[in-house]
Amino acid sequence: MIRPEDILVRSPSGVCCKLGGFHIDPTRPVERAVITHAHSDHARAGHGAVLATQETLDLMRLRYGEAFAGSTQAMAYGESISLAGAKITLHPAGHILGSAQVAVEVDGLRVVASGDYKNAADPTCAPFELVRCDLFITEATFALPVFRHGDAHAEIEKLLHSLALFPERAHLVGAYSLGKAQRVIALLRQAGYDAPIYLHGAMEKITDYYISRGIALGELRLARGATKANLAGTITLCPPAALTDLWTRRFPDPVAAFASGWMRVRARARQQGVALPLVISDHADWDGLTATVGATGAGEIWVTHGQEDALVHWCATRGLKARPLDIVGYGDEEEIGDTEVNQSEDGAAPSRADTHDQDGNGS
């Protein structure tokens, strides 16, 4: 009888399906890669053939240029393809635009590699779809019971309240350039905020892409062109590392906000000099992870990255077989020192000059 480990195995480059001859989110260049989503730690350039959703492929192209892979193949959610008896299907992961869970079926046994996911509402991407399976591969970024993300709308209210209270100051919201920034904008629009929202130059291309996919974000402007006086009482989205950058000096007495699941922990927010932490995450929180793991019906759980110990322990107390995968190379885009900000305001290549101060190490 076929076992889950006959379908997927751990390899130095990430999870690999030997039968189908492909890797999922490999951390090194491989011949064939299935990519769950376009965040740079999961979607790397240089693979031979890449299979992903159209959005993921488009976003990779935006980032890495036309030649990011030998060939590409787009697949919509729910569509399937068979590779040497391994049937691959993509299902929405609810993490960012285009994010997918990869289901691999062989002889009626189903394995799901979920990439990064969240089961909370997000106006900028398709909602997470629960896929029943035998082996579930889960992330564990926020796998501690202290992480409960709560209601994102309440965090947006907090931001709007602060804006009303300090109308002469600029509000800078640090947010990861791909996904988080657009979600925050969409949440602001849902809350009825219809003033122009300003953007750091590094976010322009990706945000334009979201808009081209029919996601309504209202009127957006680049902070680059605005005067200090114009920026009073406005909201500007920027990469987290820009919050402590020279770039902030163009704003009147800026309030540093940061949208991330890590903002739940006070010491983390304070270390980073954040004055207005906003707990808004694109990852499942503890309740979300445990509820999802349980609901998949999987008897075996592999944990890729984050706080593996706690989730593995929780699985054990529920009689589930679980083990950490210890894959090196998956980062955490909700950290302040993220890899995205190695772009200058013009969206151009990073320089070692003063413009960018805190280089991310993709920790």
Partner 1 sequence: MNRFAELLDRLAYEPSRNNKLRLMIDYFRSTGDPERGWALAALTGALSFPHAKPSLIRSLIAERTDPVLFELSYDYVGDLSETIALMWPSAAPSSAPGFGKVQAADQELTLTRVVETLATLGKAQLPQQLARWLDALDETGRWALIKLVTGGFRVGVSARLAKAAVAALADKDVHDIEVIWPALAPPYGELFAWLEGRAERPASGDPASFRPPMLAHALDDADLAALKPEDFMAEWKWDGIRVQAVAGRLGTEPEDGKLVARLYSRTGEEISKSFPDLLDALRLPGAIDGELLIMRDGRVQSFNVLQQRLNRKTVTAKLMAEFPAHLRAYDLLAEGDEDLRERPFAERRARLERFVARLSDERIDLSPLIAFRSWKELMAARKNPAAAGAGADAAAVEGVMLKDRVALYLPGRPKGLWWKWKRDPFIIDAVLMYAQRGHGKRSSYYSDYTFGVWTQGGQGDELVPVGKAYFGFTDEELLQIDRFVRRNTIERFGPVREVLHDPDRGLVLEVAFEGLQRSSRHKSGLAMRFPRINRLRWDKPPKEADRLDRLEALIQRIEQGHLQGQIA
List contacts with partner 1 (CB under 8 A).
119-121, 144-151, 158, 162, 165-166, 243-249, 253, 256, 264-267, 269-271, 273-277, 284-285, 287-288, 291, 307, 309-310, 313-314, 317, 354, 357
Minimum distance between the CB of residue 9 and partner 1, rounded to whole angstroms?
A: 28
Minimum distance between the CB of residue 294 and partner 1, rounded to whole angstroms?
A: 12
Minimum distance between the CB of residue 274 and partner 1, rounded to whole angstroms?
A: 7
Would you say 65 or 249 has its CB closer to partner 1?
A: 249
Residue 137: strand pairing partners? 113, 302
CA–CA dist 121, 249 (Å, integer): 35
To which residue do tokens 């492909």 refer? Answer: 22
Would you say 346 or 357 has its CB closer to partner 1?
A: 357
Q: Give every CB contact of residue 138 below 8 A, 6+ residues apart in sequence.
A: 114, 117, 289, 292, 293, 301, 302, 303, 304, 311
CA–CA dist 79, 96 (Å, integer): 19
Minimum distance between the CB of residue 318 and partner 1, rounded to whole angstroms?
A: 11
Backbone angles phi, psi at 15, to 5 degrees: -80, 140
Minimum distance between the CB of residue 240 and partner 1, rounded to whole angstroms?
A: 13
CA–CA dist 130, 101 (Å, integer): 10
CA–CA dist 33, 234 (Å, integer): 42
Minimum distance between the CB of residue 160 and partner 1, rounded to whole angstroms?
A: 13
Q: Which long-range contacts (CB under 8 A, 24 or more apart) does 316-324 make?
A: 318/294, 320/293
Minimum distance between the CB of residue 145 and partner 1, rounded to whole angstroms?
A: 4
Helices 204-212 and 54-64: crossing angle, nearest 10°? 150
Would you say 194 or 253 has its CB closer to partner 1?
A: 253
Minimum distance between the CB of residue 252 and partner 1, rounded to whole angstroms?
A: 11
Do 18 and 9 contact (CB within 8 A), yes or no? Answer: yes
Minimum distance between the CB of residue 144 and partner 1, rounded to whole angstroms?
A: 5
- Report the candidate in 184, 162, 144 with the shortest Cα–Cα distance to residue 268: 144
Would you say 134 or 245 has its CB closer to partner 1?
A: 245
Would you say 105 or 155 has its CB closer to partner 1?
A: 155
Would you say 40 or 248 has its CB closer to partner 1?
A: 248
Would you say 12 or 150 has its CB closer to partner 1?
A: 150
Would you say 10 or 268 has its CB closer to partner 1?
A: 268
Would you say 50 or 243 has its CB closer to partner 1?
A: 243
Q: For residue 285, what are the CA distances in angstroms to 21, 57, 236, 326? A: 33, 27, 26, 20
CA–CA dist 113, 104 (Å, integer): 8
Do 109 and 65 contact (CB within 8 A), yes or no? Answer: no
Q: For residue 222, what are the CA distances in angstroms to 202, 227, 234, 237, 347? A: 10, 11, 12, 10, 12
